[in-house]
Structure 1
Amino acid sequence: MSNLERRLAAIQAKITSKEFLTGRQLGGDIPYWIFDYPPEEELRVRDHVNHMLRRLNSDASPVRACHVDLLDLVRTMLEGRRLLDKAIEMQRKKGDATVLNALAAELGPEPVADAFVRSVSIETCSFVLVTGIGASYPLVRTHGLMNTLHSRTGHVPIVFFYPGRYDGQYLRLFDSMPESAYYRAFRLVSDSEGS
């Protein structure tokens, strides 16, 4: 079993533990967790999360696991404003920079955070699992979303499945993008826990 497989296998016990759900070990910090993984393992991680969600949301489960796929959220936001087809056409004709600039207000941290909270009825969630971080980049920037979400989610734990590296201080998307400082999250399962 690979280190990633061991780390994935440790997730469910961790996120259903009383310590995780109550945030007791965080000492009042924001209950943000990051499960970082090699970007090339995206499909394996996505399959694991989907399988875990089915188990966690069975009738026998004492928790309510909510899920936000950021790419689906962005698509829904743009479709709701009838901008998706226009954005695709603009990107095709004028390029990435033009469409990113045109969508900056629609997909800024504030509107995305509001849509995120509405999409899962945050007050009903035991925790939220967030996927689609790599697929929604650069439309959604993880550190900007995290900075904005915390005032809207209270003490609901949120786990970000991050295709890249998080060392406890810096996020490095795809293991190649410039680092973004974010130090208010915790690694969900460390490399040593997977060993």
Structure 2
Amino acid sequence: MNHQLSNRLNQIPSKILEDEFLKGQGLGNEIGFWIFDYAPEDELDVRHYTQFLEDMLAKKHSQLRTVNINLLSSLVAYLAERNFIDKAIQMQAQKGDEALLKALRGPLHMDKFAPYLVDKHQAADQDIIFITGVGSVWPLLRAHSLLNSLHSLLGHKPVVVFYPGEYSGQSMTLFGQIPSNNYYRAFKLVP
């Protein structure tokens, strides 16, 4: 792991354990959504770190209720519960990626998927919500769309998105190459 990434990751615990962070204070009535952006090639190091962070919080701060919502695992579970997996595989094999993406637009619309995530992971009852696996679900899901939908469901609940790309505070660029619609409601967790 490179020194700069290690230094940034090591700042996360003190940041998320602050009362202001946990209570959503000092944000000027903004939502408590935070983005930790990182270079895509650091994905495996960040995955290891998020597991370490979860374990550390469970051991040293067990009073905090935290959940890590892995978008890939959640997406697969969501599609499986709706019996879409076999259909999706068959459609992709027969008609290709574009047809599959078009067919999944309805079932994966954020009006359906975001409430599923909140309910499945009991996110509204948590003190901190981590969202991982953003790059693994592209192009089926877009982070800015998910965050926009979660805002009305979670309000000021602290949400940290681990984002493999760049977040300028105004816009997100997945993998440092794929721009998204402007998203300016989140804060950078660690500069």
Q: TM-score, normalised by structure 1?
A: 0.93
SS at match of 1:165: strand
1:193 equivalent in structure 2:
none
Matched, 1:156 2:160: no
What is the RMSD of the two structures over their aligned residues, measured on CA atoms?
A: 1.3
Superposed, 1:17-36 pairs within 5 Å as: 17-36=18-37
Moved over 4 A (4+): none
Q: Are the structure 2 counterparts of residues 165 and 60 from structure 1 closer, same or farther at C-alpha, using a change threshold of 3 Å?
A: closer
Shift of 1:14: 0.7
SS of corresponding position for 2:53: helix
Distance 1:92 1:46 in 2: 30
**Amino acid corresponding to residue 186 of structure 1 in structure 2:** F
Give the Cα–Cα distance (whole angstroms) in 1 for the partners of residues 85 and 60 of structure 2: 36
SS in 1 for 2:164: strand
Matches of residues 69-108 of structure 1 in structure 2 within 5 Å?
69-108=70-109
Q: How many residues align?
A: 190
- Contact persistence 1:127–1:156 (CA under 8 A): yes
* Overall identity of the aligned pairs, in %: 42
Tell whether 2:92 aligns with 1:115. Answer: no
- Provide, for residues 135-158 of structure 1, a one-character-per-residue CA deviation record: whole Å limited to 9, x for no partner: 011111111111111111122110
Deviations 1:3-50 (A, max 9, x none): 111001111111111110011121110111000000011111011001
Q: Structure 1 unaligned runs (5+)?
A: 191-195
Could you tell me which amino acid in structure 2 is paired with residue 182 of structure 1?
A: Y
Within 1, Cα distance between the matches of 2:61 and 2:182?
40
Counterpart residue type for residue 146 of structure 1: L
Q: Which moved more, 1:116-125 or 1:95-104?
A: 116-125
Uncovered stretches (5+) of structure 2, i.e. residues with no partner? none
For normalisation by structure 2, the TM-score amounts to 0.95
Distance 1:103 1:60 in 2: 39
Question: Which residue in the other structure is 1:185 paired with?
Answer: 186
Task: Work out whether residues 69 and 130 of structure 1, in 8 Å CA contact, stay in contact via their aligned partners in 2.
Answer: yes
Q: Closer, same or farther in 2 for the Cα pair 1:189/1:137, shift >3 Å?
A: same
- CA shift at 1:120, angstroms? 1.7
